[in-house]
C-alpha cells in the first residue's frame, strides 16, 4: 500500500491527525495494534482546554461535545476548613469542558469511518524502516495474519507511551527527560450523580483527593496513594471512607454521593519527555513523545495541540514550504514543557509528603493561587490553556 502519511496508533492523536490531514487534502492510513472496541472502551482523561475545543469546533467534530459535555467556568480548591472557587473566566481565562476521552475517541472514530478512512485494527509487529530516507515505510501483520507494508512520504508515531515509533529516533539524537513522582493515583468511576457542580481539588493532611464527573449520573474520583499500594488493598468501603474524609473537610455542608464503583485502578505519576519530536521523515505526537502527571489534565490536550500543529505543517509542506515541519518539534515542545511545569507545580502543591514544613508551604501556595488576582490569573491561564500556535 502507498499513502502520503502513515499513522501508527488510533488513539485521539492518530484519529484527529488523519481528520485534520484530510482537510489539508492529504491522504493517510492508520494502523492500530488493538481492536476498535478495545480502543473505544478505554477510560482515561476527561478535561478539554478551550483551545482543544476550538480545534474540534473548526474541524466539525464537536456536535456531541457541545450537547453532552459539561462546560465549567472554573474549579474548587480546598483544604481543611476552607473551600474556594476559582473562576477562570473572571480571572481572564476561558472555560474548560468536561468530556470523557472515550466519548471523544468515539466521535473521532465515527467521523473517520464516515469519511471512509483507511484504518487497520489488530495490526501486530509494527516496525518502521528507512525513516532517514525520503522513502520510509512500515511493516506489520494484519488481523488475518497477512504481512503488510505501507510506503509513505512521512510516518507519524501516535502510538502512545508503550508504542514502538519513539525507538526509531536515533539514539545519538534522542534525549529523554524523566521524573518519577513519589506517589500514585487511585482513580475510580462510580455510577452516582456528581457531588459537586465543578471539579474539586482537595489538599488533605492524609493526601490529595479530586472529584470530577463524566455526566449527570457518572462521577470520577482520584486519591493520592502510596506507589507500593495494590488495588486489592482498597475495598470499595475503604475507598468511599477515605474519599469522604479527604473531600469532606473543606466544607461542612458538603455531601458525598456514594454508590456502585464500576472501575478502579492505580496509576503511577510520572513525567517523561522524549526529544526531538521529529527526525527526518519520522514525527512523534501525543503520548508517544511525552506523558505528564494527570493532575493538570494536560495529556489529551497536548495530543490535540501536537497534531493540530503537525497537520498545518504537513499541509504547508505539501504546498512546497517545509519551514513549519522544521519548526514542529520546537513549537510542540515549548507547549509540552509549559504543561510539564504546570503539572509538576500543581501536583507539588496538592500531594502531601508527610513533612509538616512542606504542608505549610503547600497551604501558602494554595492560599496565594486562590486569593491573589495574580495567582488566580496564572492558574486560570494554565488550566484553560493558550492558543495553539507555532513559535
Ligand X SMILES: Cc1cc2nc3c(=O)[nH]c(=O)nc-3n(C[C@H](O)[C@H](O)[C@H](O)COP(=O)(O)OP(=O)(O)OC[C@H]3O[C@@H](n4cnc5c(N)ncnc54)[C@H](O)[C@@H]3O)c2cc1C
Query: Interface residues with ligand X (CB under 6 A)?
Result: 8-14, 31-34, 39, 44-45, 101, 123, 126, 158-160, 162-164, 267, 286-287, 294, 297-300, 303
- Minimum distance from residue 102 beta carbon to ligand X (Å): 10
Q: Which three cell numbers stand for residue 114?
A: 464516515
Determine the straight-line distance between the first and last CA of the chain, rounded to whole angstroms.
Answer: 35
Residue whose C-alpha cell reads 497477512 in the numeric block: 146
Q: How far is the CB of 157 from ligand X (least distance, A)?
A: 9
State the nearest-atom distance from the C-beta of 357 to ligand X, in Å. Answer: 30
State the minimum distance, in angstroms, from the CB of residue 298 to ligand X: 6
Q: Which is nearer to ligand X, 299 or 385 (CB)?
A: 299
Q: Give the span between the Cα atoms of 113 and 11, in whole angstroms.
A: 14
- Residue 368 belongs to what H/E stretch? helix 356-371
Residue 269, CA atoms < 13 Å, CB-side half-sphere = 26
Residue 162 or 175: the one with the smaller Cβ distance to ligand X is 162
Note whether 383 and 75 are within 8 A (CB). yes
CB 360 within 8 A of CB 70: no
Shortest Å, Cβ 320 to ligand X: 29
Minimum distance from residue 110 beta carbon to ligand X (Å):
16
d(CA 141, CA 179): 35
**Residue 34 or residue 348: which is nearer to ligand X going by CB?**
34
Nearer to ligand X, 101 or 370 (CB): 101
**Summary count for the chain: helices (H), strands (E):** 10, 20
Specify the residue, 140 or 250, whose C-beta has the smaller distance to ligand X.
Answer: 140
CA–CA dist 21, 8 (Å, integer):
14
For residues 37 and 253, which CB has a smaller minimum distance to ligand X in the complex?
37
Amino acid at each position: 500500500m502507498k499513502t502520503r502519511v502513515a499513522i501508527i496508533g488510533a488513539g485521539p492523536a492518530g484519529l484527529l491527525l488523519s481528520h485534520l490531514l484530510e482537510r489539508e487534502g492529504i491522504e493517510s492510513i492508520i494502523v492500530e495494534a488493538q481492536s476498535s472496541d478495545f480502543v473505544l472502551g478505554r477510560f482515561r482523561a476527561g478535561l478539554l482546554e478551550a483551545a482543544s475545543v476550538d480545534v474540534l469546533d473548526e474541524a466539525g467534530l464537536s456536535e456531541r461535545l457541545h450537547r453532552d459535555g459539561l462546560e465549567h467556568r472554573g474549579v474548587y480548591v480546598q483544604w481543611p476548613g476552607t473551600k474556594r472557587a476559582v473562576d477562570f473566566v473572571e480571572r481572564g481565562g476561558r472555560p474548560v469542558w468536561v468530556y470523557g476521552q472515550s466519548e471523544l475517541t468515539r466521535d473521532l472514530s465515527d467521523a473517520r469511518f464516515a469519511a471512509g478512512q483507511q484504518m487497520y485494527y489488530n495490526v501486530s509487529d509494527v516496525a518502521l524502516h528507512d525513516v532517514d530516507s525520503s522513502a520510509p515505510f512500515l511493516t506489520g501483520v494484519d488481523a488475518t495474519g497477512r504481512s503488510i507494508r505501507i510506503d509513505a512520504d512521512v510516518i507519524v508515531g501516535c502510538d502512545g507511551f508503550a508504542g514502538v515509533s519513539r525507538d526509531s529516533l536515533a539514539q545519538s539524537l534522542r534525549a529523554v527527560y524523566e521524573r518519577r513522582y513519589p506517589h500514585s493515583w487511585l482513580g475510580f468511576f462510580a455510577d452516582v450523580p456528581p457531588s459537586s457542580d465543578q471539579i474539586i481539588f482537595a489538599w488533605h493532611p492524609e493526601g490529595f483527593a479530586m472529584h470530577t464527573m463524566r455526566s449527570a449520573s457518572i462521577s470520577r474520583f482520584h486519591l493520592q496513594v502510596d506507589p507500593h499500594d495494590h488495588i486489592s488493598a482498597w475495598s470499595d468501603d475503604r475507598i468511599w471512607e477515605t474519599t469522604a474524609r479527604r473531600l469532606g473537610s473543606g466544607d461542612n455542608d458538603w455531601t458525598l454521593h456514594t454508590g456502585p464503583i464500576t472501575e478502579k485502578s492505580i496509576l503511577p505519576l510520572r513525567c517523561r519527555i522524549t526529544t526531538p519530536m521529529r527526525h527526518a521523515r519520522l514525527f512523534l505526537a501525543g503520548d508517544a513523545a511525552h506523558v505528564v502527571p494527570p493532575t493538570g489534565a494536560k495529556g489529551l490536550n497536548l495530543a490535540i495541540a501536537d497534531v493540530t500543529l503537525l497537520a498545518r505543517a504537513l499541509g504547508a509542506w505539501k504546498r512546497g514550504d517545509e519551514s513549519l515541519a522544521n519548526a514542529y518539534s520546537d513549537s510542540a515542545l515549548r507547549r509540552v514543557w509549559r504543561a510539564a511545569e504546570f503539572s509538576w507545580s500543581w501536583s507539588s502543591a496538592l500531594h502531601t509528603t508527610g513533612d509538616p514544613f512542606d504542608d505549610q508551604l503547600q497551604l501558602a501556595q494554595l492560599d496565594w493561587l486562590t486569593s491573589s488576582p495574580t495567582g488566580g490569573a496564572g492558574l486560570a491561564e494554565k488550566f484553560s490553556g493558550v492558543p495553539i500556535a507555532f513559535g
